[in-house]
Amino acid sequence: MRTPSPASPLLSVTSLKKSVPGGRVLFDGLDMAVAPGEFVAIMGESGAGKSTLLNLIAGLDTADSGSIAIRGTVLDGLDDDARTKLRLAAIGFVFQAFHILPHLTLAQNVALPLVLQHMKAREAEERAHAMLASAGLSGRGNDFPRALSGGELQRVAIARALVHKPALILADEPTGNLDPETAARILELFATAVRESGAGVLLVTHSHVAAAVADRTLLLARSGLREHDGR
Amino acid sequence: MAADMCGLSGVATRWMIAGEWRAHPARVILAALAIAVGVALGFAVHLINASALNEFSRAVRTVNGDADFQVHARTPLGFEEALYPKLARTPGIAAASPVVELPASIDGKVPLTLLGIDPFRAGLVTPNLMGRPVAAETTQTAAPPSATDNALGETSIFLSQAALLALNKKPGDEIQVSAAGQTLAFTIAGTLPGVAEGQRLAVVDIATAQWRLNRLGRLQRVDLKFVEGADEPRVRNALAALLPRDAEIVNETTQERRTDALSRAYRVNLDMVALMALLTGGFLAFSAQALSVARRRSQFALLRVLGVQRRALLFQVLVEGAVVGGIGAALGLGAGLFLAQGALSFLGGDLGGGYFSGTRPQLIFAPGAALSFFGLGLLAALIGSVLPARQAAQAQPAIALKDAGDAADPRRAPGWRIALALLLAGAVCAFLPAIGGLPLFGYISVAFLLAGGVGAMPLLARVLLTPLQHVTFGVSGHLASKHLWGAPSQAAIALCGIVASTSLMIAMAVMVWSFRNSVDSWLVQILPADIYLRVEGDDYNAFAPDVQQRMATVPGLQSIHFRKVTPLRLSPDQPPITLLAEDIDPANPSALLPLIGSSRPIPDGAIPVWLSEPATWLYPYRAGDYMDLPLSGASGSTRVFVAGIWRDYGRQQGTVAMASPDYVRLTGDRLRSDAAISLKPGADSASLPDAMRAVMPPSLAGRVSFVPSRDLRKLSLQIFDRSFAVTYLLEAIAILVGLAGVAATFSAQTLARTKEFGMLRHIGVLKRQIVGMLAAEGALLGSVGVVAGIGLGIAISQVLIHVINPQSFHWTMETRLPFVLFATVAVALVAASAGTALIAGRRALSGDAIRAVREDW
Amino acid sequence: MRALKWALALILLATIGHAADTPVLPNYAEVRPGVTLSFPRDHGAHPEFRTEWWYITGWLDTEDGRSVGFQVTFFRTRTSTDQRNDSAFAPKQILFAHAALSDPQTGHLLHDQRIAREGFGLAQASMADMDVTLNDWTLKRDANGRMTTHAGGKDFALDLGFTPTQPVMLEGEEGYSRKGPLPAQASHYYSLPHLLVSGTVTRNGRKAAVKGTAWLDREWSSAYLAPGAVGWDWAGFNFDDGGALMAFRIRDAQGQALWAGGSYRDAKGALTHLAPGDVAFAPVRRWHSPRTGTDYPVEQNLSVRLGPATKEWRIAPLFDDQELDSRAGGGPVYWEGAARVHGGRGYLELTGYFKPLKM
């Protein structure tokens, strides 16, 4: 893994334009930069394109125009395989719907990114167990997700997002499916974990509570992103 | 599993596959079983074919000994024995062994081939035909006089071990040998140790055969051995120059070709039917895989998001398919062996086709074939996985992750171009000719039509369901049609299975039904007399003229017409054509022969013959042509005029029908074995057999059967049904497989729709309305499938009837549609579909559904 | 060949057989005294009799000075097959033949055989003169009296010509040679000793020119052996001075002579017919066959009473192992070997030592 020079941003988005099938333009001329280790929240109305923006950054979708660079690597010129490789190496995900695979144990779920990078199963699972422990699920690595509550599932997801020490975490409404108490606890865990890991975070959310954890908040509108001063 | 270029992680793949199987073992087992059934059927049929053919070859080789090659007579009447010393003296021939060959029946119950050989000659050319006497040798040259020692004598016979077993006799016993119109006593002098196990053969001295069985002056064959290092082609040419028209050179290759040709079409057809079973199994595997992938769309999307490359995902699904296919194929091989063993024991080597009589062949395991069928099973599973795999890999992860409904956009009309292209290709192939006597393009056409029909299902379903969108018949119906409309790819998968299996089944059913009807009406035409009489066994020469005379004078008889049925070799590569000599009236041949078209006017002085339909496929003769028959004329052959063509389902290798008087004039052969009897009105048919038997030689009387034509028709149809028993079985399996596919589809979907049902219950839909919805979905799907299946099936049946059957067996038939069957199948399938949908959806109505809404998974 | 074993066993078995309904058996002609042999007709076959042979034995000298022995014999046998059998294949007459080469360097006999039923020109024996064909083997006499033979197979081949140098020697009483106490137990018998041989012997593809002396025996009979007889010893010698001796004894199961006889023709041509009491064979040395376990008296003292005197010859074989095992072709096992006596060369034949011989 290349160690980025402190001067270069972790994520750099320039003049991004995206429209949906049907013609409606989501955003045009969008610029953004995330520094390494920076925690950025993005808020906006439903349908503003927050999730689409995340997909674009993750390389899962292509913009109409503009450019995205992660750790200096420009995504536009890369083909799907290269983007996938980059995604595996550099990004971690936390979703609103958890997306924990029901047929794997918790440890196997967490170990997935490592295993996909061709780490040996035993070693990967050991690290997964350790991650689970630090997510407050120690000793439960061999359980199946079936019996877990929503909050526990999201802990597993957070562990999975961080286990491979990615440079960037993308979180899409991570507390959206949780009740307020659980949401608060999860948020706390998430914030602690990512700051410990030193990864940059892009968090998309409705919730002001969630956004409050971030270093800065951006508001997504048609014209682009602008600073949001909270509340 | 090491890392490789596409980024496939072995550990991840292992986890994903194992996890999936642990969670849903039933589905995996089902898919494996489907492949297993297909492979088992295909492999079993192939093994049976191979074993039977092997058996048949052995039988032929046994009778022919191990000669380098032979000079064979073209008819059972043989050729002049003066040819033998000429052959023996040809330079390059080390030894020549003259042979008399006759079909015979021992003790009235065991039919076999009787050979008359000269042991001194045979010992040099075909030593495996030599008999071993059982007399002990106490002195150097002679033993005490007893009947068993007279081995060259006129009453000694040697029997193979299998013949002894069948007769339950041992050396020293006396037996009755019936051949060439007479029955004689022989004493068993010993055994034939050189004859292969299971083969029945009897050997006597050649002088005995000629003298006692009235074959003086003629031989059926001469077995030949080359001098070591001889120039074989030159010797062969020298021999060919010596041969009269009624003899031909035959060697092991031509023998094999003949054996092969005899039943090749039948066996290939059977192989094809078995492959269809494999295909249906493949479809089921495809359904299972497709559903499994569809269900796991979001999981696959997650993997893509986490960073799994497209190719890696593709490979994972393919690996799953391969493992399922491998397990299924391995199971199938084992089951196939078991099936084949059972079938050989119970049905015989021809599976009821009537080609190979008597012995139950031994099963020969064919490692090469086993490997091929294993490969085919694997291939079927892989092909069934490819499409879903590609789908999984190509899917947009973002959309899939949200699990927002069906993968396909319901608003887009499904593609129709590929399906149309396939259908057109199928139509074109149907018009192409046979290759090597096999309807290969016919099979390809069927495959294309099937693929095209199945591929057109999404479009067809849409077309058929669209009108229903505007008709509401109750909540259930409404919900059902909306769901089918809104999830076209899932519907299409379920339909694939039904349509594929239904259409194949319908196609076979239509063909068999048409065939049966054609055979039935043909039987009526070809059996105009009241009672038919024939002699058991392969004996063409049972009744001598004086016996025939006596038979004609039995009271109660309106008329009796004797027929001669004898094989004739027109070509070294083909099995013999049958010569039928009957009391045909040249002015009115259609009284006895079901003519196709009319009979040509016969030129003066020409001898008319009528060729059967299969003969016109195999040989280049048509009505109005002249042809040469190897009947003894001055040069051993006679020129005859082909006056017409007639339909014959009885003999696939062709028949030449000739008027009896012409036949007698040409060959002088007055021995007969078949007769057609018409009774006087009011005559007592029950007493006729005894009256007839009274005027026959006693040994014959026991072997003669009298069959009223009505019974003969019934018997023929029974044989027909028995021949197609296997086809019927395969049809049933096809249907079951299709239904299993439907059940799998519905059960898979229901699990995924648990939330949906829960939601419906929440908003106030009654339980029974959901039940109704499921039943309606099933019924609708079943109806669409049945309609499409029957339509496609009829189309495919036309290829079977007008292309595959004529090219394989050289006969035509008229299409008859079994409407009753259609109705039954339709009702049954619709009901079964509705039923399986219901059963699969039972879970949905439990408490789980309501709870599921709250949860995510 | 192994297959022929059974075949030949069978024909010889078949000499006594019947068909299911009473077959018509052949009437075998009887050998009677007082029948004058006339030539060339009697060089040919006599098919009414049961058994007949053309038996040539002799010594060949090769170009490199070595001597080998040879035997070529053509047999004819009339089987007891049903005489009503009209088939051209009816095995009414069977021809079979042996050929053997005795080379001391080889140490055992090289031999080959043929057998066929007479017919179709492929195997036949002329009745007019000596002209026997058996597939590819032949024995033929031309108008000048010279005989030629071709016999042999894979291991060796003999192409020899025989020129008679002495007149026919009638055995017994003018060719009526008794073999037992009953008058019918006899054969018609003549010999041609001192035949001059020239020709080639082919071995391993190489032809070698040979010259030598041979002895032809011709016999035909329907009842050769008396009951109780198991075999015979026979000796035929060409003396260097031009004389010729033939002596035989028929043995019983105890090894005693049941009958004996022979002929001696001196150098000037005076023929002495030997009565049973005039001939005695006394075994001196036996050879044990490792293959069949048979003991053959290969060295014998032959004493012959000629008039008042008794002459004795010690018969010594060229080498011991000259056993001919023709069981592969269904024939007997016997010893037929080139042998020497003082002043002459010839052949010694010992039959019936392995198992009793039946004819």
Q: Which of B425-434, B698-707, C236-245 has the lowest mean pLDDT?
A: B698-707
Distance CA B368, CA B366 (A): 5
pLDDT at B414: 62
Please tell me the least confidently modeled range out of A189-193, B298-302, B387-391, C230-234. Answer: B387-391
First to last CA, chain A: 39
Query: Using an 8 Å Cβ cutoff, are B306 and A88 in contact?
Result: yes
Res B140 pLDDT > 70: no
Q: Is the pLDDT of residue B3 over 50?
A: no
Distance CA C158, CA C73 (A): 12
- 3-class DSSP state of A32: strand
Q: Give the end of a domain, one of B679, B702, B725.
A: B702
Chain A residues interacting with chain B (CB cutoff of 8 angstroms): 51, 55, 58, 60-61, 80-81, 84-85, 87-89, 91, 93, 95, 97-99, 101-104, 108, 112-113, 115-118, 120-121, 124, 145, 150, 177
Judged against a pLDDT cut of 90, whether residue C76 lies above it is answered with yes
Residues of chain B with pLDDT > 90: what percent?
11
The whole-number pLDDT of residue B139 equals: 43
| Domain co-membership, B52 together with B97 | no
What pLDDT, on the 0 to 100 scale, is given for residue B727?
Answer: 72
Query: Can you tell me the distance from the alpha carbon of B812 to that of B515, in angstroms, rounded to the nearest whole number?
Result: 9
B132, B147, B207 ranked by CB distance to C85: nearest: B207
SS3 content of chain A, % helix, strand, coil (to 5): 35, 25, 40
Per-residue pLDDT at B248: 84
Query: Edge-to-edge, what's the strand order for the sheet holding A224-228?
Result: A91-94, A168-172, A200-204, A39-44, A216-221, A224-228
User: Per residue in B317-327, pLDDT tens?
Assistant: 888 888 888 99
Residue B214 lies inside a defined structural domain of this protein: yes
Give the helix/strand (H/E) hosting A114.
Answer: helix A106-116
Residue A168's pLDDT band, with cuts at 50, 70 and 90, is very high
Q: Are residues B857 and B760 in the same domain?
A: yes
Q: How many Cβ atoms from other residues are within 10 Å of residue B135's Cβ?
A: 19
- pLDDT band with cut points at 50, 70 and 90 for residue B472: low
pLDDT digits (tens, 9 = 90+) for B643-697: 999 988 777 778 999 999 999 888 888 888 888 888 888 877 788 888 888 888 7
**Which has more confidence, B483 or C340?**
C340
Burial class of C211 by CB neighbour count within 10 A (0 to 12, 13 to 18, 19+)? middle
B120 vs B357, residue with greater confidence: B120
Residue A120 has pLDDT above 50, yes or no: yes
Task: State whether B19 and A115 contact (CB < 8 Å).
Answer: no
Q: What is the mean pLDDT of chain B?
A: 79
List the single range of A95-104, C143-152, C273-282 with lowest mean pLDDT.
A95-104
B333/B420 same-domain check = no
Residues B3, B124: one domain? no
Task: Give contacts of B398 with chain A, Cβ < 8 Å.
Answer: 51, 55, 60-61
- C90 in contact with chain B, both atoms CB, cutoff 8 A: yes
Q: Which residues contact C251 (CB under 8 A, 6 or more apart)?
A: C229, C230, C231, C232, C233, C257, C258, C352
- Could you give the CA distance from residue B31 to residue B317 in angstroms, rounded to a whole number? 14
**Do the Cβ atoms of C232 and C161 come closer than 8 Å?**
no
Q: Which residue of A has its CA nearest to B20?
A: A103
Report yes or no: B504 and B276 within 8 Å, Cβ to Cβ. Answer: yes
Is the pLDDT at B453 greater than 80, yes or no?
yes
pLDDT at C142 (0 to 100): 92
- Partners of residue B157 on adjacent β-strands: B188
Beta strands in B690-787 (DSSP E): 704-708
The answer on B648 and B747 residing in a single domain is no
Going by CATH, does the domain composed of C2-24+38-350 fall within 2.40.370.10? yes
Q: Work out the pLDDT band at B469, boundaries 50, 70, 90.
A: low
DSSP for C224-235 reads -SPTTEEEEEEE
Buried b (16+ CB within 10 A) or exposed e, C248-260: bbbbbeeeebbbb
Neighbours of chain A (3+ CB pairs under 8 A): B
- Domain end position, chosen among B678, B702, B726: B702
**Could you tell me which chains touch chain C, where touching means 3 or more CB pairs under 8 A?**
B
Contact A87 B302 (CB under 8 A): no
- How far apart, in whole angstroms, are the C-alpha atoms of residue B637 and residue B628? 6
- Total domains, chain B: 4
H-state helical runs in B186-309: 206-212, 232-242, 252-295, 297-306
Q: What tens digit of pLDDT does each residue of C309-328 get?
A: 999 999 999 999 999 988 87
Residues B698-713 as b or e (16 or more Cβ within 10 Å = b): ebbeebbebbbbeebb
| Structure confidence at residue C240 (pLDDT) | 94
Partners of B145 on chain C (C-beta within 8 Å) are 16-17
Inter-residue contact B519 to B820 (CB < 8 Å) = no
ipTM of the complex: 0.84
**What is the tens place of the pLDDT at every residue in B752-811?**
676 677 677 766 677 777 778 888 888 888 888 888 889 999 999 999 888 888 887 777
The span from the CA of B725 to the CA of B346, in Å, is 13
Confidence of residue B491 (pLDDT cuts 50, 70, 90): low
Residues B572 and B668 in one domain: yes
In the predicted structure, residue B311 carries a pLDDT above the cut 80: yes
Helical ranges in B65-136 per DSSP H: 83-88, 119-125
pLDDT at C62: 92
Residue C122 with chain B: CB contacts under 8 Å: 85, 88-89
Structure-model confidence comparison of residues B134 and C289, the more confident one: C289
Average pLDDT over residues A106-115: 89
Q: Across the strands, what pairs with B655?
A: B578
How far from chain centre, in Å, is Cα B508?
13
pLDDT of residue C58: 95
Average pLDDT of the residues in B446-455: 85
What percent of chain B is predicted at pLDDT more than 70? 80
**Is B206's CB within 8 Å of C89's CB?**
yes
Q: Residue A103 is nearest to which of B23, B306, B398, comparing CB atoms? A: B23
Q: What is the pLDDT of residue B537?
A: 57
- Quick: pLDDT tens for B263-295: 666 676 667 767 776 776 777 777 777 777 777
The partner residue sitting opposite C19, judged by closest CB among B119, B123, B154, is B154
For residue C331, what is the DSSP state?
A: -
- The secondary structure of residue B636, as a DSSP letter, is S
Mean per-residue pLDDT for B149-172?
82
Of A80, A104, A116, the CB nearest to B9: A116
Q: Tens of pLDDT along B212-241? A: 888 889 999 999 988 877 788 888 888 888
Same-domain pairing of B681 and B716 = no
B102: left (phi over 0), alpha (psi -120 to 50) or beta: beta
Q: Directed axis angle between helix B252-295 and helix B297-306, to 10°? A: 80
Across the range B811-822, mean pLDDT stands at 87
CB pairs under 8 A between B and C: 140
Which one of A112, A121, A145 has the shortest CB-CB distance to B306? A112
Give me the pLDDT at residue A82, please.
86
pLDDT over threshold 80, residue B410: no
Question: Which residues span the domain enclosing B662?
Answer: 537-702
B21 within domain boundaries? yes
Q: Which has more pLDDT, B349 or B711?
A: B711
Structure tokens at C202: 């082919």
Contact yes or no for A101 and B12 at CB 8 A: no
Tally of CA atoms within 13 A in the half-sphere of C196 that contains its CB: 8
Q: Show the domains of chain A with their CATH numbers.
A: 38-48+80-228 (3.40.50.300)
CA B532 to chain centre: 29
Is C212 in contact with C60 (CB distance < 8 Å)?
A: yes
In a domain, residue B520? The reply is yes
Cβ contact C116–B151 (<8 Å) = no
Q: What is the pLDDT of residues A189-206, one digit of tens each?
A: 888 888 888 889 999 988
Residue C34 CA to residue B615 CA, distance in Å, equals: 74
The structure tokens 């191979």 sit at B50
Testing the interface with B: which of C75, C87, C136, C334 to mutate, by most B Cβ within 10 A?
C87
Tokens of B827: 């009702």
Q: Is C223 left (phi over 0), alpha (psi -120 to 50) or beta?
A: beta
CA separation for the pair B535, B541 (Å, rounded): 9
Q: Which two tokens stand for residue B499?
A: 């349509």
For tokens 């997650």, the residue is: B302
CA distance A155 to chain B (A): 16
> What is the spatial distance between Cα B204 and Cα B159, in angstroms, rounded to a whole number?
9
My answer on whether B33 and B154 are in the same domain is no
How confident is the model at residue B33, as a pLDDT? 82
pLDDT at B123 over 60: yes
Last residue within a domain, chosen from B674, B702, B730 = B702
B850's enclosing H/E stretch is: helix B847-854
pLDDT of residue B100: 93
Residue B259 covered by a domain: no
Contact B7 A98 (CB under 8 A): no
The pLDDT value given to residue B240: 86
Helix (H) or strand (E) holding A172: strand A168-172
Amino acid B454: pLDDT: 79
Using DSSP's 3-state secondary structure scheme, residue B49 falls into: helix
Q: Are C320 and C335 in contact (CB under 8 A)?
A: no
Q: Above pLDDT 70, what percent of chain A?
A: 93
Model confidence over A56-82: pLDDT tens digits?
888 888 888 889 999 888 888 888 888
Predicted local distance difference test score (pLDDT) of residue B819:
92
User: Distance (Å) from the C-alpha of residue B234 to the closest C-alpha of chain C?
Assistant: 21
Provide, as residue numbers in chain B, all residues whose Cβ is less than 8 Å from the Cβ of C358: 139-142
Integer CA distances (angstroms), B435 to B463, B616, C115, in order: 39, 16, 51
Bigger pLDDT: B603 vs B724: B603
Is the pLDDT score of B6 beyond 80?
no
Would you tell me how many other CB atoms lie within 10 Å of the CB of residue A36?
18
Based on the fold, state whether residues B691 and B716 are members of the same structural domain: no
Residue given tokens 């027909």 in the structure block: B720
Q: Which of B482-496, C87-101, C336-350 has the lowest mean pLDDT?
A: B482-496
Structure tokens belonging to residue A36: 């390494």
Contacts within 8 Å (CB) and 24+ apart, C36-39 = C36/C174, C36/C175, C37/C168, C37/C170, C37/C174, C37/C175, C37/C188, C37/C190, C39/C168
C-alpha closest to that of B524 among B684, B431, B647, B634: B647
Mean pLDDT of chain C: 89
User: How sure is the predictor about B486, in pLDDT bands with cuts at 50, 70 and 90?
Assistant: low
Residues B219, B223, B227, B231: what is their CA dihedral angle, to the nearest 10 degrees?
90
Q: Quote the CA–CA distance of A62 and B396 in Å, as a whole number.
A: 12
Is chain C adjacent to chain B, meaning 3+ CB pairs within 8 angstroms? Answer: yes
Partnered with residue B557 across adjacent β-strands are B679
Cα distances (Å, whole numbers) of residue C243 to B175, C209, C276, C336, C337: 61, 26, 21, 22, 20
Q: Which chains touch B (3 or more CB pairs under 8 A)?
A: A, C
Residue ranges of chain B whose CB lies within 8 Å of a chain A CB:
3, 7, 9, 11-12, 15-16, 19-20, 22-23, 298-299, 302-311, 396-398, 401, 856-857
Count CA atoms closer than 13 A to C7's CA, side-chain side.
28
The answer to whether the beta carbons of residues C164 and C78 sit under 8 Å apart is no
Q: Name which residue leads in pLDDT, B240 or C123.
A: C123
Q: Which of B691, B781, B685, B690 is nearest to B738 (CA)?
A: B781
Q: How confident is the model at residue B729 (pLDDT cuts 50, 70, 90)?
A: confident
Answer whether residue C210 shows pLDDT above 90.
Answer: yes
Q: What was the pLDDT predicted at C188? A: 94
